[in-house]
Each structure stands twice: as structure tokens, then as C-alpha cells.
Homo-oligomer: A and B are copies of this chain.
Amino acid sequence: MPPRTQGIKREKLLDVAEELFSLRGHASVTLRDIATTLGLHHASLYHYVPGGKDELYLEVMERNLERHRIGIFASVRASEGDLRTQLRATGLWLFSQPLLDMARMANADARGLGKRGEALLWKAYACFTQPLVEAFGQANARGQLSFIDFATAAISFVTMVEGLHSVPMQFFVNESKTEALEKILDIFLLGILQGRTQAEAKKETI
């Protein structure tokens, strides 16, 4: 077969593996699942990925996270000066990507993958926080923020969006995810309390 199609086929293999691993995790995706999705015998995967399952998982998830880092940076830099638009773009970007369950990565997938698994987790947190911390820093420089722990804010926002992303459609019957994203933006930016009573509410209930 032609050498110039090999790369294409391998890319397709990585795409399928990434989609499945990202959605269902390392343990519940078998090499047979990946191969049959591609219409291949599972033994044929080793032609493209001699390193085996763990190597394949690490390669596609590292690729996934790097793409997230780039995609989120692009989302926030396309609309500098408008935090809500930046966060909306980030949310839409995350929706366009296969679901990434950081809790599962940290507590199940990355276990047993040694140092490289731990490095994957660090990269995951960095990819999500770095671009948003940049955006929050700029908004704060404009005097717009009252909440100044940017890392916690970043993780909270991504967690909310991915949580929404993970909900199967049957549980969101009367509403699109795009509409739900706007609600998340409202909560994250403005809170659920009445604006006029916020200052008092904070003092009263802390």
C-alpha cells in the first residue's frame, strides 16, 4: 500500500482512539473496540502502534491536551477585552471536543501509567488554567473582577462546562447546550443572587 496513505490512516486511528478513550476512559475501552470502529482486526493496530495500549492512550491524550491548550488560547485571544465572549468561545470550543473527564483521568486512567501518567495530569491542569488565567488577569487589570484567585476560577469554569458537556442528551430535553452555556456564563460571571443585594448578602452570610 502507498506510503502516503499510511500517515492518514494512522491519524484516523489516533482520532478514533482519542474519541473513545476521552469519553469512556482507559479501562473500559479495549483495543478491540478501537479496531472494530475502524473496521480492522485488533491485531492490526500493532502495525501502527507497536507500543501497545498504554502507549496509544498516552500518545492520544497528550495530543488531545495540547490541542486543548491551543484551542483555548485561541478562544480567549480572539476577543481580548470582552471576558464573556472569551469564556463563551472557550465553552463552545470544549463542546466541539470529545468530553474530557479530568476526575476520571486523575483517579483511574492515569494510575498505573507511571511518571508519564502523572505528567499527563499536570499538563491537563495547565492546559485548562493557563489561557483562562491570562484572560482573568487582563479583566482584572481593567478593574472588572471581584474574584481574584484566577486558578480556582479557571478550574471551576472548565469543570462546569465539562460537567454540562458530559450530560447525555436525554437529560437535557427542552434546551440546547448552547443555551445552557449562556446560563453557565450568567452564573459564573454574575452569580445567582440578586445583584443589588450581593454586598449585603456576602457580609450577612459569611
Q: Which A residues form the contact surface with B (CB < 8 A)?
A: 23-28, 82-85, 99, 101-104, 106-109, 111, 121-122, 125, 136, 143-147, 149, 152-153, 155-156, 159-160, 162-164, 166-168, 171, 180, 182-184, 186-195, 197-199, 201-202, 205-206
Contact = CB atoms under 8 A, between A and B. Distances in A.
Nearest to A163: B159
The winner among A85, A121, A152, A153 for most chain B CB atoms within 10 A is A152
Contacts of A146: 190-195
19 contacts: A84-B205, A101-B104, A102-B163, A103-B104, A106-B168, A143-B194, A146-B190, A146-B192, A147-B190, A147-B191, A152-B180, A155-B163, A156-B184, A159-B163, A187-B191, A188-B192, A190-B193, A191-B191, A195-B199
A111 B23 CA distance: 12
Given A26-B28, A103-B103, A180-B152, A125 B171 contact: yes
Contact of A187 (B27, B156, B164): B156
A147 B184 CA distance: 10
Given A144-B197, A167-B106, A84 B206 contact: yes
Contacts of A27: 25, 27-28
Contact of A192 (B101, B102, B145, B183): B145
A180 to B, nearest CB: 6
